[in-house]
Amino acid sequence: MDEVVRRAGDAGAVAARVDAMVREYQTKLARYLRRMVGDAEVALDLTQDVFLSAFRMLDADPQRELSAGWLYRAATNGAISYLRRRKIVRMLPLDRDVDRTAWRIDERTAASVDLQAALARLPADQSAAVLLTSYAGYSSHEAAEMLGTTADAVRQRVCRAMRVLRTVMKESS
Amino acid sequence: MSQECGRAEILAGAVALGEATDTERDSYRRHLAECRRCIGRFGGEREIERVMRTVALARDAETWQPDVRGTLANAPLLRRRRWTAAILAAGATLAFAAAAFALVVRTGSPLAASRQVASSNPVFRVELERRPPVATQPRPQTHAAPDRGLVVVHNVVTLTRPVVRAQAPVAHPKPAAAAAAAVATTVAALGPSARDERSIAAMQTVASAPLPAERAESMAVVPPVVREVAPVGGDGAIVPHPSAIAYDEDAQGTTAFDVAVDDSGNPTKCTITKTSGYLVLDVAVCKAAMRARYVPRTVNGRATAGVYHDAFTFRASQGE
């Protein structure tokens, strides 16, 4: 009987923790993922997947600490997997009919359009580096930890992403 | 890239993130003073900060406030339902396959069964419809030249018989008048068909016709700066490679085509606006056009979707 009560208490605590995480990070993660994949609906799906993974992880081990870094790492991996899949699907001609122009007003600012155009040309690792640092506000060391690489590698990726962004800005001006 | 330039790339990244120390900034400045190539590639500190400000502006302009909690609450249940539906569907498929197998074993084949029914039941009659075989050879088509004018740069591809490879297209200068003149010269030398003459006339009309007065006036009031779609690498970037049958058939003619290009410069659709009469040539042109990358159309500096118009003339020659 004590075991059942303890488990019920654990489940309640896990749900409360995940709920708190969702409240705090859902907007940040969804915006980050939307920039990564370039599609709001897909970004929402991937955000849900991240929180579901967090829920399962905490359900299995309620004592485990889940940081923001873990959430961003899971989000980045999800986005990269999605982009890989999309790359394969893109070889089919029907994918060309997808409407990519259904953007909201705030996404149509010059800065937003330039950034999205640059991100569309970048490899996923460079997109992740520039978004985790300049967009999400993490340092190169924190981003390196999330991406499983070094701070210098993150700086190098940011520099390469910046060059593409510069080219895009030149083309649009 | 030398080791110093590699280091400068990392330093530029640190400057971009605002993480560079004074020593690192000095080191970066010293390198830029000596390396003209890195100035062009990375830019100075102000340039880097200006570019990176774009990211901050885009971030600050965001107003999207998604709420995933409602859908998240139903997600595990939905997934269970999806699995249940998948298992039921698989079971139904297996049951159907087993039933079909049993039928085939009992009666030989479904076709044989239908023949038996037809022969035994006088009410039903099975008629076999025979259709002529589909022609495999590409047949010349007689499409009329399109009514609308084309702003066309004419490329000429010569198909030489023994050499099973098309020569690179001869790119002509872009202005439509020059292109049309080149077309007229080339096609006249070949002895053009009536169809080609009509299309050439249309091109020349477009090149030389003055703008309507009201349109010219409206453009004078608000002159939009428009840059049309162009292939990356210039006119020579699109190189069609017709398959061997084109050489066997002595295929020749002019294929005009339109390529729809999205705002990222990716081709999305190729349309043949004037056929050469040989499918194999038209297909080769469209394949080459869809392989190329394009600089998107811009209106006042903003990339938009656009259409690239072009044409190729194929000539057959006997070669040496």
Taking the Cβ of residue B42 and every Cβ of chain A, the question of whether any pair is shorter than 8 Å is answered with: yes
Calculate how close chain B gets to A3, using CA atoms only, in Å.
25
Q: Shortest CA distance to B282 belongs to which of B307, B259, B258, B256?
A: B256
pLDDT of B135 = 41
pLDDT of B246 = 73
Encoded amino acid at A168, one letter: V
CB A69 within 8 A of CB A146: yes
pLDDT of B155 = 63
Q: How far is CA A58 from CA A3, B5, B49, in A?
A: 18, 46, 41
CB B274 within 8 A of CB B256: yes
Q: Report the complex ipTM.
A: 0.78
Candidates A166, A168, A170, A172: best to mutate against B (most CBs of B within 10 A) is: A166
Distance CA A167, CA B43 (A): 12
Q: Which of A19-23, A157-161, B197-201 has the lowest mean pLDDT?
A: B197-201
Reduced DSSP (H G I as helix, E B as strand, rest coil) percent helix, strand, coil of chain B, to 5 = 50, 15, 35
Find the helix packing angle between A68-89 and A2-37, rounded to 10°.
Answer: 50
* Mean pLDDT over the full length of chain A: 82
pLDDT of A71 = 92
CB B32 within 8 A of CB B4: no
**Mean per-residue pLDDT, A45-62:** 89
CB B203 within 8 A of CB B153: no
pLDDT single digits (tens) B29-40: 888 888 888 888
Contact B58 A109 (CB under 8 A): yes
- Considering only CB atoms, which chain A residues are within 8 Å of B51? 162, 165-166, 169
75-134 in chain A: CB under 8 A from chain B: 96-97, 100-101, 104-106, 109-117, 120-121, 130, 133-134
First to last CA, chain A: 70
CB A113 within 8 A of CB A172: yes
pTM higher than 0.80 for the full model? no
Interface A:B, Cβ pairs < 8 A: 141
Contact A140 B19 (CB under 8 A): yes
pLDDT by position in tens, chain B (length 320): 678 888 999 999 999 999 999 999 889 888 888 888 888 888 888 888 888 888 888 888 888 888 877 666 655 544 545 556 667 777 777 777 777 777 665 554 444 433 333 333 343 333 333 344 444 344 444 343 344 333 334 566 666 654 444 444 444 444 444 444 444 434 333 444 544 555 544 444 444 445 454 444 444 456 778 888 999 888 778 888 887 777 777 778 888 999 999 988 899 999 998 888 888 888 888 988 998 889 899 888 888 999 999 888 888 776 54
Distance CA B244, CA B242 (A): 7
**Residue B253 burial (10 A CB sphere; 0-12, 13-18, 19+):** buried
With CA atoms as reference, the chain A residue closest to B48 would be A162
